[in-house]
Structure formats: structure tokens, C-alpha cells
Amino acid sequence: MHTLVTGGGGFLGRAIVEQLLARGDQVRSFSRGVHAELTELGVEVVRGDIRDAEAVAQACEGIECVFHTAAIAGIGGTWNRFYSANTLGTENVIAACRRHGVQSLVYTSSPSVTFAGGDQCGVTECEAPIDLAWLEKNECHYSRSKALAEQGVLAANCEQLATCALRPHLIWGPGDPHLVPRLIHRAKSGRLRRVGDGTNLVDVIHVENAARAHLQAADSLVRPDSPVAGKTYFLSQGEPVNCWQWINQILALVNVPPVIKSISLKKALRIGQACEWGYRIARSQQEPPMTRFLAWQLASSHWFDISAARQDFGYQPLVSTAEGMQQLAAWLQPS
């Protein structure tokens, strides 16, 4: 296929690019940054901002399938910052696909679009609807902007453009520039606290598994009467981990002491709201150390039923959690 990966220089985007190249697809990457390593791999690299409709349209010319991974993530910043990139940027991608006759669009969403402040234990896509009102009330800007984008992608599904949305949860693995380094940094600085009683289970997914699922979904989309078209799917390792035990396992790989100190969810919520107010008043674009959303996420269980992905496009996590941790150890502790 002639493929476009938005955010091709990012963590997940890069893994998708590499898997596409490995099977012989022609790959174009669209992102804001300079990624010389992609050019060396044979990728056509196009620089641009996802918020620039014309730049996105030009990047989609001659493309058959788009993997839209580009997004602004995080818990800090204004609503407009997330909305302009994640929601309006996705609208630009959809419009560009229509303009140039792109056949299929695979959108990277997030399970957090379904979060509403409580435990989610083994829920299916049907059992976890998007609650935009809750996300807006609690200022979950990232999740709300991604939810709106996901709804737009699914609504765009038609005979000319087949679309789907994938919800990988806590992507990690060698080369991770986000989750793992952030955990280690906060633990080393003494700013990491367990929230809640430490028994909550969460889903995670190795980056190679997440990337492979994107390719599998794209392959299914081009088939007549594809069961994937117009649908959204949870993705994970297939078995949840204890959130705080898993964090401590990662810390142990770099000889950082485990997280022992804890605070209650109630206290974390108070701190989170105070941080939100303070950063809003200061008009800071930095990430606060705590928000209400982060407090809920750290204290609650959220793991999902991936049966639909298994059934509809054959998803199966090939890299086990144990194998992934060995890879992570080798990356964090190079010889």
C-alpha cells in the first residue's frame, strides 16, 4: 500500500512505520519535527502541522491508507491547545482523505475517552460509552478532544472511506520517550506517590503489539463488508497488571527504590483541583504534578475486554508482558 503515518516520528508512529516497511509498503510520514532516521529507512518525510488543513491535504495526495497517530497528549494546558490539534487536526485528516480518495483511515484513540471517574473492569466497547459531559465537567481536555475526534472518524465511515478507531492503553516498550522516563524521573525526584490502596488493575500494551494491531485493522478495512469499518476497539496485552507493582518493577530495572509512600484518592483529588486552579490562574502550559483526572486514573482499575479486536481482525499480542519487560531492561541498562 501507499501509506501515510501522521506522527510517524513518534513512539507508536515509528513502530507502525517500521512494520509497514518490513512488509514492503511505501511509507510517507507527516509530522512537525525533523526525523532524519526515517529518511535513512526509506520513508518519504513531510514536515507540517496537523492543524494546517492544506499541509495535511498535500500529505494525503496519492495515499491509499492513513494511520493517524499524531496528537497532543498530557494533562496540562488549555482546552484550545488539545482541541485544535486533536479534534480539528483529525477533521483536517478526514477532509484530506475525502479530497484525495484515500480508501481507509485508522485512527489512534484512547481508552480514556470512556473514563467517567470509576473502575472499569473487563468492560467491552458497548459497555463503556463516551461521556462527553463528564469529561468536560472535570476538564479532561486530552480525553475529551480525543473522544470528539474518535466520533468524527467513525461518523466519516462510508463506502468511499473505510474508518476505524483503536484504543491502545498505556503504550510502553524500548524507546519509550513518555511513560517510562516520566515514571523514573518522578520516582528519582521523590515526587511519586501511590494513590489509593494500591490494588487497582490496569491494562498496558507493548508498542510492537499496538503497531501490529494498526496494520491488522488497516488490512481488514480494505476487504468488502469489513467487520472493522465504523467501529472502535480496545487494545491491550490481554491481561491486566497491578498498576503499582508494575511501576515498581520498572523502577527496579534502574535500581530506583519502590514507591512506598501513599495518599488517599480523596486527598489526591483535592491536590489535583488546587493544581488545576493554580496553573489556570498562572496560564501555565506546563503539566501540573497532579490533576483530578490523574488522581482517578492512578487509583482506579481500568482494564478492558479485547475480544472484539481478536474476533474482527485477528489481534493477538505477540510480545508478552514478561518478554517486553526483558526488552525494556536491555534498553534501560545497555551493556
Catalytic residue among 107, 142, 279, 315: 142
Residue 107: strand pairing partners = 68, 165
Q: Which residue do the cell numbers 510480545 mark?
A: 319
Cβ(239)–Cβ(320) below 8 Å: no
What is the rounded CA–CA span in Å between residue 238 and residue 236? 5
Distance from chain centroid for Cα 317: 16
Q: Which of 290, 269, 293 is nearest to 279 (CA)?
A: 290
| 3-state DSSP assignment of residue 302 | strand
- DSSP 3-state assignment of 252? helix
Would residue 142 show up in a list of annotated catalytic residues for this protein? yes
Q: Which residues pair with 176 in a beta bridge?
A: none
Give the number of other CB atoms < 10 A from CB of residue 284. 14
Query: Cα–Cα distance between 96 and 83 in angstroms, integer?
Result: 18
Rounded Cα distance, 124 and 330, in Å: 34
Residue numbers annotated as active site:
142
